[in-house]
Chain A
């Protein structure tokens, strides 16, 4: 594609759901398969790409991740790994869910992987009642039904309420 060669430092404008605009260097945007596809189909850099599902706070985080991964050379895997764990370290559940949704929408596989893994690691030792609250899931079991499912897997509940 001619335009990508000519304009190596070309920038894209992304617009978050709450109206904030972000200027993104093209090589950073390429971390996202979605944006890559858009660039491949000759979207002009003057256009603003709306991301109606992603708020500004999340988009800033996503772009931070993309920049780090775009700038690091492939030989620095160890450095990237420690960046990834530091990146997610103190993130609350809400931010993690937002990241998973954004990574899924923008098709950033690496980010989806680490964010989903982080959520899994956070909930794995929690009682199911608490997981219900975290995911805002309504309990549609009758007490008897729940007890039956529980009985079926009794060993897994040892040490849990």
Chain B
């Protein structure tokens, strides 16, 4: 009979692979070979078969593992390290990206395919070592396995939550306005953004901090630190200081004509001492007469402003971005 080429190729393919992969130092054991009693799973495995797992099937299996397991399994052997750390293994990306933060000192990039509108894969970045920057230690990211991100899709925002444990991606409608397509700040295994309500107009100054909990795919709102004495404030950026969610805010007094006319802008940095407790916002310091920002942001810090507290030096000096 005539077999089609696909069948013959399939036969040939596996035959070649197994021939090449047969390790010379591993002769098949005799059938009566006594198997280690402590490992029942393994004892049921015919040795010749396991060493026959072709690389493509190994990939098939490994690509279903959570990141944490993958990082550990790099220690299995050098070929596994090579496979797992190969960017091709984890990434199908060229079109777009969102930065995703996670893991202890890990930074992931979430890559998007804008044409198919699908989240495709996770880029794997290896742990960043702590660096000494001018006597300041780089802020370490919190450890967690649930990651998320955000991007604009036309007028609507979509938050993308990724559970790296299951490699399962979900798109979640992002019901707020965000001033920039930032990927969210990770604190306490959740993502945080400074937003305005979807229904509010462009000039509205009501800001919220929303937190997205990827475990339940839900948004929780935090109020921003309350203004003093009725002055209004603008949240410029979120950061992590002392392991707490922190904000940099710009504030000015109602009696002036607004931020455009304020000759004395003040910048204050606060931390939320107890996560999720709005009463625990605590002021760290204030920078008054912050004229640099005033000029830089074309006098409209409430629209363009972005100031992120990055870290504090040991002597209490701050590092900005």
Contact = CB atoms under 8 A, between A and B. Distances in A.
Query: How big is chain A's contact interface, by range?
Result: 35 or more
Given A93-B44, A133-B42, A153 B69 contact: no
B11 interface: yes
Nearest to B104: A155
A59 B93 CA distance: 38
Contact of B47 (A130, A136, A139, A157): A136
A40 B14 CA distance: 23
Contact of B65 (A124, A132, A152): A124
Given A97-B50, A116-B64, A41 B76 contact: no
Contacts of A146: 75
A117 B69 CA distance: 14
B4 interface: yes
Interface stretch (B77-85, B215-223, B228-236, B246-254): B77-85
A83 B34 CA distance: 35
A135 B105 contact: no
A93 B75 contact: no
Given A135-B50, A150-B75, A156-B68, A44 B61 contact: no
Contact of A116 (B49, B52, B57, B77): B57
Contact of B7 (A38, A44, A130, A132): A38
Given A94-B45, A149-B74, A155-B143, A120 B1 contact: no
Contact of B81 (A124, A149, A154): A149
B36 to A, nearest CB: 9
A113 B213 CA distance: 29
Given A94-B46, A97-B49, A123-B65, A34 B81 contact: no
A155 B105 contact: yes
Contacts, number: 144
A120 B81 CA distance: 17
Contacts of B73: 128, 131
Contacts of A107: 10
Contact of A124 (B10, B49, B66, B77): B66
B284 interface: no
Given A37-B6, A116-B61, A153-B74, A101 B41 contact: no
A65 to B, nearest CB: 17
A38 B105 contact: no
Contacts of B45: 92-94, 97, 134, 136
Nearest to A137: B77
A128 B75 CA distance: 7
A88 interface: no
Contact of A140 (B7, B26, B77): B77
A156 to B, nearest CB: 4
A103 B237 CA distance: 52
Contacts of B103: 155
Given A120-B61, A128-B75, A133 B127 contact: no
28 contacts: A37-B7, A41-B4, A44-B1, A49-B3, A53-B14, A93-B44, A93-B45, A94-B49, A95-B44, A97-B50, A100-B53, A101-B52, A101-B53, A105-B14, A112-B60, A128-B73, A128-B76, A132-B77, A135-B53, A136-B50, A136-B51, A137-B79, A137-B80, A138-B23, A141-B75, A155-B105, A155-B106, A157-B72
